[in-house]
């Protein structure tokens, strides 16, 4: 579904990602780990096409199409979606109105989706204005549910979320990624950034990757990688040059 | 009562549309009363709501001589050249609306002031809500699509809000690019009275200058002003509102959302806290979408212990981050931008009937459809 080849990205004048290579197949969920500032969020923002992330070399191919230079909304319309770690607040714009813009003016269905995420009381609220950490995440998952992307990127979906909300969000994300569908028939893929790994309880991720200093250093079983990181931290990853 | 007010006047479809954009229902749907003035001619004046009268100004003063005690009390004849001009008219024109004690109009009364040729249209209006009455008025002001240079509107409005009474006055302007508009208005609010003043201007106009004042003279009286305006190139909007808090428990809120698309907006505001236990908040937010001017001049003036006044003003542009956020949900850049602007202009007015809030929303929605 997604193929990243030799990707180099600059923010301002500084190269932040160097020679990133990654392939995510249909129905697969990959996990990206790495220390703060290693470039994980930059990779997601680049895949979505945000303006400040300048691809200087390499390609991003999505379902066989080179989307490296495609505008954000066209990537979204092709089925790429992102859950932001810290989305902006948009004063005056109601969550319900944005959902109607992406999903269509079907208020009953939107209300049902919102109820499932315990967000029905927020449809008339300004997007993210005064939302708690958990409410922001639920709002993001709700927006993605309405958008129904084929390739889902999640930037730390569990950060700032209490245990009760993690379960709610985890199950909703699992549904977004069709974890309830047999692997043979599953069409949706995902790339998930996580620090704690709590979200893995709901995702059954297929592969894990560690990013350090703007490069993907190693691949492997996501739970085993997480176990190593929890035991030894990222020091060995930073020193590792084996890739 | 279903009167087609439009049949009383000769309007082409374009001008009918301009009136509709100003919130005027020529078919009288969802209206309980109507006043229609074309240039200086009163075409229609009626109200079906029990306890509420809508009368042409001259007729009202003849019918109720006591009204002379209300005329020119809140707005002074000598205030400026525009008030002097209106005061000097031998044949005063305008409307008087009297909501008798305890009356209440659920459906609003519409006041339509239409300028069809290059001349000065002058009006003098008096609105009175007696004790416990509730009066809702939508004022649609528009000019004909072909009215050129020389067209102007001078409007004097005096509002009297009695004890436990409420007046909401929603004014939507659809003037032309060559028209100059000088409303002069003031309100006096008695004990527990509420005065709501809403102003919407989404269309080009040469100049609007107004600075209405609310005198909050009764305990626990309330005034809320809200303005939602767009100024395009060549438009000069000098707008403001003022509240004088002179009774204990009185409060005021002045909210403005201003967008410049190359035009000039001066957004003034003044709240004066003269006695203790008074509150006031003034808020002006501006977006500059195309090089123009938004000049916010918020003033708060407290002179006693126990008055609490605050203001916030911000002028800027739409954050790229917000546009890209919406684009990541599949909206193209233009739609994302318009969606954010629509949200920015979305001011909900506490205490305003749904019908009038919808009318305000419709005026802004229409502007959104034409790309602001």
Alpha-carbon span B236 to B205, nearest angstrom: 7
pLDDT-based confidence at residue A90 (cuts at 50, 70, 90): very high
Contact B328 A98 (CB under 8 A): no
Identify any residues that bridge with B52 across adjacent strands, giving them in sequence order.
Answer: B99
**pLDDT tens column, A10-62:** 999 999 999 999 999 999 999 999 988 999 999 999 999 999 999 999 999 99
**pLDDT tens column, A66-86:** 999 999 999 999 999 999 999
Q: Provide the angle, in degrees to the nearest 10, between the axes of the packed helices A95-103 and A107-116.
A: 120
Select the more confidently predicted residue: A230 or B231: B231
User: pLDDT above 90 covers what percent of chain A?
Assistant: 73
Determine which of A52, A53, A73, A145 to mutate to test the interface with B (most B C-beta atoms within 10 Å). A73
For residue A62, give both structure tokens: 């999505």
Q: Say if residue A242's pLDDT is above 60.
A: no
Q: Which residue has the tokens 């659809």?
A: B174
**pLDDT tens column, B307-316:** 999 999 999 9
State the smallest CA–CA distance between residue B355 and chain A in angstroms: 18
Contact B327 A72 (CB under 8 A): yes
Q: Say if residue B21's pLDDT is above 90.
A: no
As a whole number, mean pLDDT of residues A191-202 equals 87
Contact A147 B330 (CB under 8 A): yes
**pLDDT tens column, B36-66:** 999 999 999 999 999 999 999 999 999 999 9
Taking contacts as CB-CB distances below 8 angstroms, the residues of chain B near A71 are: 327, 332-333
Chain B touched by A129 (CB under 8 Å): no
State the smallest CA–CA distance between residue A102 and chain B in angstroms: 7
- In residues, how long is chain A? 243
Q: What pLDDT is stored for residue B1 in this prediction?
A: 47
As a whole number, mean pLDDT of residues A118-122 equals 95
Taking contacts as CB-CB distances below 8 angstroms, the residues of chain A near B335 are: 101
Which of B325, B340, B281 is closest to A91 using CA atoms? B340
User: pLDDT above 90 covers what percent of chain B?
Assistant: 82
Name the most confidently modeled range: B103-107, B354-358, B365-369: B103-107
Q: What pLDDT is stored for residue B209 in this prediction?
A: 98
pLDDT-based confidence at residue B319 (cuts at 50, 70, 90): very high
pLDDT-based confidence at residue B10 (cuts at 50, 70, 90): confident
Contact A76 B327 (CB under 8 A): yes
Q: What pLDDT is stored for residue A199 in this prediction?
A: 87
Q: Say if residue B347's pLDDT is above 90.
A: no
What chain A residue is nearest to B285 in terms of C-alpha separation? A91
Name the residue among B328, B330, B343 with its Cβ closest to that of A93: B343
Taking contacts as CB-CB distances below 8 angstroms, the residues of chain B near A79 are: none
Q: What pLDDT is stored for residue B118 in this prediction?
A: 85
Q: Say if residue B7's pLDDT is above 90.
A: no
**pLDDT tens column, B223-235:** 999 999 999 999 9
pLDDT-based confidence at residue B293 (cuts at 50, 70, 90): very high
Determine which of B256, B326, B329 to mutate to test the interface with A (most A C-beta atoms within 10 Å). B329
Q: What pLDDT is stored for residue A243 in this prediction?
A: 45
As a whole number, mean pLDDT of residues B353-360 equals 88
ipTM associated with this complex = 0.95
Q: What pLDDT is stored for residue A180 in this prediction?
A: 87
Give domain A2-87+146-239's CATH architecture: 3-Layer(aba) Sandwich (3.40)
């Amino acid at each position: 579904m997604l193929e990243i080849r030799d990707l180099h990205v600059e923010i301002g004048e500084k190269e932040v990602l160097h020679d990133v290579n990654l392939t995510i197949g249909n129905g697969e969920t990959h996990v990206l780990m790495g220390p703060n500032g290693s470039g994980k969020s930059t990779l997601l923002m680049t895949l979505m096409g945000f303006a400040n992330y300048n691809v200087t070399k390499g390609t991003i191919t999505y379902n066989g199409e080179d989307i490296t230079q495609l505008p954000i909304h066209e990537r979204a319309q092709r089925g790429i979606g992102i859950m932001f770690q810290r989305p902006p607040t948009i004063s005056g714009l109601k969550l319900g109105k944005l959902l109607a813009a992406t999903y269509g003016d079907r208020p009953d269905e939107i209300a049902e989706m919102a109820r499932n995420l315990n967000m029905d009381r927020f449809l008339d609220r300004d997007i993210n204005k005064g939302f708690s950490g958990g409410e922001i995440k639920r709002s993001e998952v709700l927006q993605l549910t309405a958008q129904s992307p084929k390739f889902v990127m999640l930037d730390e979906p569990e950060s700032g979320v209490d245990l009760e909300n993690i379960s709610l969000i985890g199950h909703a994300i699992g549904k977004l990624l069709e974890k309830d569908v047999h692997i043979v028939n599953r069409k949706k893929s995902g790339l998930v950034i996580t620090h704690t790994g709590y979200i893995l309880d709901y995702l059954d991720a297929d592969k894990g990757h560690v990013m350090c200093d703007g490069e993907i250093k190693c691949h492997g079983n996501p739970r085993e990688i997480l176990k190593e990181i929890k035991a030894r931290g990222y020091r060995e990853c930073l020193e590792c040059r084996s890739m | 009562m279903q009167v087609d007010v439009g049949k009383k006047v000769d309007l082409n479809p374009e001008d009918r549309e301009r009136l509709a954009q100003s919130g005027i229902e020529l078919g009288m749907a969802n209206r309980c009363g109507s006043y229609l003035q074309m240039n200086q001619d009163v075409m229609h004046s009626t109200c079906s709501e029990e306890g509420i009268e809508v009368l042409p100004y001259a007729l009202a003063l003849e019918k109720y001589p006591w009204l002379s005690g209300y005329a020119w009390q809140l707005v002074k004849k000598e205030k400026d050249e525009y008030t002097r001009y209106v005061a000097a008219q031998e044949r005063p024109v305008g409307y008087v609306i009297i909501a008798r004690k305890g009356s209440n109009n659920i459906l609003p009364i519409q006041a339509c002031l239409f300028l069809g040729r290059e001349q000065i249209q002058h009006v003098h209006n008096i609105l009175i809500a007696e004790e416990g009455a509730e009066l809702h008025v939508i004022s649609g002001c528009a000019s004909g699509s072909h009215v050129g240079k020389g067209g102007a509107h001078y409007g004097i409005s005096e509002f009297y809000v009695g004890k436990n009474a409420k007046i909401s006055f929603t004014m939507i302007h659809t003037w032309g690019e060559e028209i100059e508009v000088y409303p002069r208005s003031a309100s006096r609010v008695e004990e527990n009275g509420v005065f709501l003043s809403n102003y919407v201007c989404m269309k080009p106009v040469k100049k609007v200058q107004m600075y209405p004042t609310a005198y909050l003279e009764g305990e626990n009286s309330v005034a809320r002003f809200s303005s939602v305006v767009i100024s395009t190139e060549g438009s000069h909007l000098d707008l403001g509102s003022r509240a004088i808090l002179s009774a204990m428990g009185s409060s005021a809120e002045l909210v403005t959302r201003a967008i410049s698309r190359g035009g000039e907006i001066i957004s003034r505001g003044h709240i004066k806290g003269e006695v203790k236990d008074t509150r006031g908040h003034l808020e002006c937010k501006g977006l500059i979408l195309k090089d123009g001017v938004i000049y916010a001049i918020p003033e708060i003036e407290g002179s006693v212990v126990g008055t609490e006044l605050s203001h916030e003003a911000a002028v800027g542009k739409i954050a790229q981050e917000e546009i890209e956020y919406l684009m990541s949900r599949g909206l193209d850049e233009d739609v994302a931008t318009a969606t954010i602007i629509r949200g920015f202009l979305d001011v909900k007015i506490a205490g305003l009937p749904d019908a009038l809030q919808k009318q305000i929303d419709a005026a802004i929605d229409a502007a959104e459809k034409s790309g602001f």
